[in-house]
């Protein structure tokens, strides 16, 4: 609810030339972080102190500009203005982080890396991280695609055909709830490459929720839709593709969200145990070298990847289900 | 504004309901609804069935539409036994159920699309009679908007769908349950 209040305050403020005070205040947080970084001596030698100070100064300067020109910058201005408290909190957080790690050592050193060390990781190891991230996304995309398609088709078959449902339901009930990771040791033996084994595991974990929700979606379609279409001369194929599937799509998307979240877990475990690339592997590899900063970097990128993919799916859903706006929310 | 009334075939369908009985198979006990109903409807006539709620009016219409099959007896339209729903026999349901993921226009075009005429003949198949129904009944409605409905719209669109379909097949057999 607080965000709404903030937005209301922002809208209530008059005069288009006026500066946005909260954004200017946020820049002070980053100035404080730069101050802590430069004028408080480090316990031990830290790399890239000046470079990091430069980065944070750039953030502070950008916030000053955004604050001054908030009303004239349109969407960008509004976006920053609405997030000013967060931007302030991030600046203060950076200052506290620096203080706790590099300056006082309250958080012991190799386990809780300093911000300078994190910058060093991204600066020197970014090709490897980027390659790992793209490998993970590609692996996930293949697995998720096959799993979603398979689950969707199984769900339609079960929702539509009684015979198919008779044979598929017990299998789905019995095998489906099994965590895909339980297949891991077998999958790496059965499949020729660890990559194809991972694709199978991710597809498996995605297919189950998608199948169940597609099925329930089709089963819960209002019968009147079918009867209306039938009186208008619809063929069975038309009933499936133009009535059952569009009506079931909201459920299908719930299944896709569930499948995507479980597939993240499978992806990371598969990469840690068998696949010789990807963020999960990078995490494991960094642990082997006791490179804690690299592990945090991998986690950071992994979080960005997962939330980015979820956001992408949300965008797709909002576009596909635009008719549903205001009807159902979950 | 004068709207030219579309040409309708001079005679509609000849509907004959002969000794029709129907019951619903509920769990265990069958529920009889219609018992030996016979009715002759001349082509082009306008017939209203009246009766208290639950007396089987809608059931009879569903049988004529072909959505259900009578337990006993026979229904013929122009001499052909009713086996399945057919676009020449349009039923307007009690609820104006529309397809919410379709725009108004797409809802109205549903029947043509289902019969494959929209694809084969394009939007041209909407003229003139289908377009007439669309125009007259949906005048105050933006036809490109989604079927997120205001009061009064659903019924107009619902009838428009039925009439579009009816005019296309050039028959006049339409009921409301």
Q: What per-residue confidence (pLDDT) applies to B172? A: 40
Query: Which of B67, B69, B92, B114 would you mutate first to test chain A, the one with the most A CBs within 10 A?
Result: B114
Q: What per-residue confidence (pLDDT) applies to A78? A: 85
Instruction: Using the 3D structure, point to which of B55, B81, B107 is the last residue of a domain.
Output: B81
Structural domains in chain A, sorted by start: 2-112 (no CATH), 118-324 (1.10.3720.10)
Given an 8 Å threshold on Cβ–Cβ distance, is B148 in contact with A323?
yes
B53 touches A at CB < 8 Å = no
A246 touches B at CB < 8 Å = yes
Instruction: Using the 3D structure, point to which of B30, B62, B81 is the last residue of a domain.
Output: B81
CATH code for position B67: 3.40.50.300
ipTM at complex level: 0.72
Given an 8 Å threshold on Cβ–Cβ distance, is A231 in contact with B115?
no
Q: Within this chain, do residues B75 and B94 fall inside the same structural domain, yes or no?
A: no
Q: Is B54 a member of any domain?
A: yes
Stretch A151-156: mean pLDDT: 95
Query: Which of A222, A228, A229, A248 would you mutate first to test chain B, the one with the most B CBs within 10 A?
Result: A228
Stretch A38-63: mean pLDDT: 91
Average confidence (pLDDT) per 10 residues, chain B, 177 residues: 46 83 83 88 84 85 87 87 81 74 72 68 51 56 51 61 56 43
Q: Where is pLDDT greater, at A4 or B47?
A: B47
Stretch A55-75: mean pLDDT: 88
CB atoms within 10 A of CB A100: 14
Q: Within this chain, do residues B118 and B142 fall inside the same structural domain, yes or no?
A: yes
Q: What per-residue confidence (pLDDT) applies to B11? A: 58
Q: Within this chain, do residues B71 and B52 fall inside the same structural domain, yes or no?
A: yes
Q: Within this chain, do residues B95 and B42 fall inside the same structural domain, yes or no?
A: no
Q: Within this chain, do residues B101 and B145 fall inside the same structural domain, yes or no?
A: yes
Confidence check: pLDDT of A323 > 90: no
Stretch A198-209: mean pLDDT: 93
Query: Which of B65, B101, B103, B170 would you mutate first to test chain A, the one with the most A CBs within 10 A?
Result: B101
Helix (H) or strand (E) holding A50: helix A49-68
Nearest CB to A230; choose among B67, B148, B165: B67
A224 touches B at CB < 8 Å = yes
Q: Within this chain, do residues B32 and B61 fall inside the same structural domain, yes or no?
A: yes
Instruction: Using the 3D structure, point to which of B81, B107, B123 is the last residue of a domain.
Output: B81
Give the range of the structural domain holding residue B121, as residue numbers without chain letter: 90-170
- Asked if B65 and B91 count as a contact pair (C-beta separation under 8 A), the reply is yes
Q: Tally the domains of chain B.
A: 2
Q: Within this chain, do residues B28 and B95 fall inside the same structural domain, yes or no?
A: no
Q: What per-residue confidence (pLDDT) applies to B177? A: 42
Q: Is B5 a member of any domain?
A: no
Q: Is B3 a member of any domain?
A: no
Q: Is B52 a member of any domain?
A: yes
> What mean pLDDT, rounded, does chain A reach?
88
B108 touches A at CB < 8 Å = no
What SS3 state is found at B105?
A: helix
Given an 8 Å threshold on Cβ–Cβ distance, is B148 in contact with A234?
no
pLDDT digits (tens, 9 = 90+) for A213-259: 999 999 998 888 888 888 888 888 888 988 999 999 999 999 999 99
Contacts of A151 (CB under 8 A, 6+ apart): A206, A207, A208, A209, A210, A211, A214, A255, A259
Q: Within this chain, do residues B65 and B114 fall inside the same structural domain, yes or no?
A: no
Q: Within this chain, do residues B27 and B50 fall inside the same structural domain, yes or no?
A: yes
B87 touches A at CB < 8 Å = yes
Show the DSSP H helices in chain A as ranges: 2-12, 21-39, 49-68, 74-82, 84-98, 115-160, 162-175, 184-190, 194-219, 223-231, 236-238, 245-273, 279-288, 292-320
């Amino acid at each position: 609810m607080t965000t709404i209040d903030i937005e209301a305050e922002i809208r209530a403020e008059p005069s288009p030339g006026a500066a946005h005070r909260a954004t200017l205040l946020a820049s002070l947080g980053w100035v404080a972080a730069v101050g802590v970084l430069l004028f408080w001596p480090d316990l031990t030698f830290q790399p890239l102190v000046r470079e990091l100070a430069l980065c944070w100064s750039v953030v502070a300067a950008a916030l000053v500009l955004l604050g001054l020109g908030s009303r004239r910058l349109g969407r960008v201005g509004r976006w920053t203005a609405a997030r000013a408290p967060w931007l302030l909190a991030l600046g203060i957080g950076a200052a506290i982080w620096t203080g706790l790690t590099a300056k006082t050592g309250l958080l012991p050193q190799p386990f809780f890396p300093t911000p300078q060390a994190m910058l060093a990781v991204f600066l020197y190891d970014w090709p490897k991280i980027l390659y790992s991230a793209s490998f993970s996304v590609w692996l996930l995309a293949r697995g998720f695609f096959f799993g979603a398609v398979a689950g969707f088709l199984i769900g339609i078959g079960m929702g539509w055909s009684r015979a198919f449902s008779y044979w598929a339901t017990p299998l789905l009930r019995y095998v489906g709830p099994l965590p895909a990771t339980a297949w891991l040791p077998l999958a790496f033996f059965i499949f020729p490459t660890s990559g194809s084994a991972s694709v199978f595991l991710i597809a498996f974990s995605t297919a189950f929720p998608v199948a169940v929700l597609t099925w329930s979606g089709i089963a819960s379609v209002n019968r009147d839709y079918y009867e209306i279409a039938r009186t208008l001369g619809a063929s069975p194929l038309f009933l499936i593709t133009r009535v059952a599937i569009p009506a079931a799509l909201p459920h299908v998307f719930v299944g896709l969200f569930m499948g995507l979240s479980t597939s993240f877990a499978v992806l990371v475990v598969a990469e840690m145990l068998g696949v010789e690339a990807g963020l999960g592997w990078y995490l494991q590899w960094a642990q082997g070298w006791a490179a804690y900063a690299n592990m945090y970097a991998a986690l950071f990128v992994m979080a960005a990847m997962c939330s980015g993919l979820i956001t992408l799916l949300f965008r797709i859903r909002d576009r596909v289900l635009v008719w549903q706006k205001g009807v159902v929310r979950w | 504004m004068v709207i030219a009334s579309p040409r309708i075939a001079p005679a509609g369908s000849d509907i004959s309901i002969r000794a029709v009985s129907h019951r619903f198979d509920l769990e265990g006990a069958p529920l009889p609804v219609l018992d030996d109903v016979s009715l002759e409807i001349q082509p082009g006539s306008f017939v209203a069935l009246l009766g208290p709620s639950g007396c089987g009016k809608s059931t009879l219409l569903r049988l004529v539409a072909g959505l259900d099959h009578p337990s006993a007896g026979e229904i013929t339209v122009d001499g052909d036994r009713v086996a399945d729903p057919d676009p020449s026999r349009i039923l307007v349901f009690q609820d104006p159920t529309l397809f919410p993921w379709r725009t108004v226009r797409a809802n109205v075009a549903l029947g043509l699309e289902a019969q494959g005429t929209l694809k084969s003949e394009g939007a041209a198949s909407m003229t003139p009679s289908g377009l007439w129904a669309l125009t007259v009944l949906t005048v105050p409605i933006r036809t490109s908007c989604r079927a997120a409905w205001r009061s009064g719209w659903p019924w107009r669109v619902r009838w428009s769908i039925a009439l579009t379909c009816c005019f296309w097949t050039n028959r006049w057999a339409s009921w409301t349950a």
